[in-house]
């Protein structure tokens, strides 16, 4: 299976972005592959088959979905028509400054974090179909992004970022306006809490709050906090911080990344806050841990 890396699509590390309007030919098979970055797919016209995590779905015009990193998937064109899609490849670092604000919008959280995770669940589709004026608006923004990225006129990177942010905001509003019953009502509470715990293990470094997780479970924040602690033996914040600091310890041990980089990669924008939490969890500062890790207790337990 082919695994695409950042270097295959992003010639500038400081600009991890690529967009392509691709035509899936009649009967064309795009083999199973995965990538180290996020892929946003928007179906402009036609129908094709998409297989991801053992599920096969017939794509249709207006479908939009996210394929997260390290997720294997493939496409197969129909025999009677071509299919046109926008493929947008990017890393979250492209939206670093805006990600916290975007994550305050419930629709963005559902689409960007929850939906890809639910590829693993039979109870809810990770695909969103957009129609009417919203579809035209979203397609127009992708056209603008594609044009800016192709022409590369001075300032194009800022234009791409701003249009991509607008795309996600518009998409999030559409999701909120067409909100369905929470998926949690379709399954047992313990099973849904298990999914949410597993999801948190994957996105612990993202700015997602307890309130947003409780909404995913169709619970009040207080009820969610209580049930989460019953299940894990830890508070939501404690559970998340332990995941963050465990990863920080791994990066400090196994890489030469700066402490600022380690803090950022584990979800801490405020370096002093990172130092404070790290010391509380690990018993020493990040620098002390790196220099004298054998003398320091690990936070990975």
Domains of the chain: 2-177 (2.60.120.280), 183-233 (no CATH), 241-295 (1.10.10.60)
Question: For the chain, which residues score pLDDT lower than 50?
Answer: 118-119, 122-124, 181-187, 299-301
pLDDT reported for residue 95: 81
Classify strands 2-4 and 29-35 as parallel, antiparallel or unpaired. parallel
pLDDT reported for residue 126: 66
pLDDT reported for residue 112: 66
**How far apart, in whole angstroms, are the C-alpha atoms of residue 142 and residue 145?**
5
pLDDT reported for residue 300: 43
Predicted TM-score (pTM) of the model is 0.69
């Amino acid at each position: 299976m082919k695994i695409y890396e950042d270097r295959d699509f992003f010639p500038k590390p400081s600009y991890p972005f690529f967009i392509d309007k691709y035509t899936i030919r009649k009967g064309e098979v795009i083999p199973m592959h995965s990538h180290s970055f996020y892929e946003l797919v928007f179906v402009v016209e036609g129908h094709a088959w998409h297989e991801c995590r053992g599920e096969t779905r017939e794509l249709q015009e207006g479908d939009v979905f996210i394929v997260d990193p390290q997720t294997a998937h493939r496409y197969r064109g129909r025999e009677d028509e071509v299919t046109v899609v926008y493929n947008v490849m990017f890393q979250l670092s492209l939206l670093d400054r805006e990600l916290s604000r975007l994550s305050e919008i419930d629709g963005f959280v559902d689409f960007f974090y929850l939906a890809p995770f639910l590829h693993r669940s039979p109870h809810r589709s990770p695909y969103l179909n957009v129609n009417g004026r919203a579809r035209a608006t979203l397609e127009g923004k992708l056209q603008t992004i594609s044009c800016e990225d192709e022409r590369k006129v001075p300032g194009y990177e800022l234009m791409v970022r701003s249009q991509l942010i607008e795309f996600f905001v518009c998409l999030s509003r559409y999701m909120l306006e067409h909100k369905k019953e929470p998926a949690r009502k379709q399954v047992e509470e313990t099973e849904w809490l298990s999914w949410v715990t597993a999801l948190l293990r994957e996105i612990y470094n993202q700015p997602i709050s307890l309130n947003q997780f409780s909404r995913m479970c169709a619970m009040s924040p207080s009820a969610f906090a209580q049930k989460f602690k019953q299940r894990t033996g830890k508070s939501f914040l404690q559970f998340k911080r332990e995941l963050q600091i465990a990863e920080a310890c791994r990066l400090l041990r196994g890489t030469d990344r700066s402490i600022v980089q380690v803090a950022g990669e584990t979800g801490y924008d405020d370096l002093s806050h990172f130092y404070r939490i790290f010391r509380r969890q690990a018993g020493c500062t990040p620098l002390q841990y790196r220099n004298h890790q054998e003398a320091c207790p690990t936070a990975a337990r």
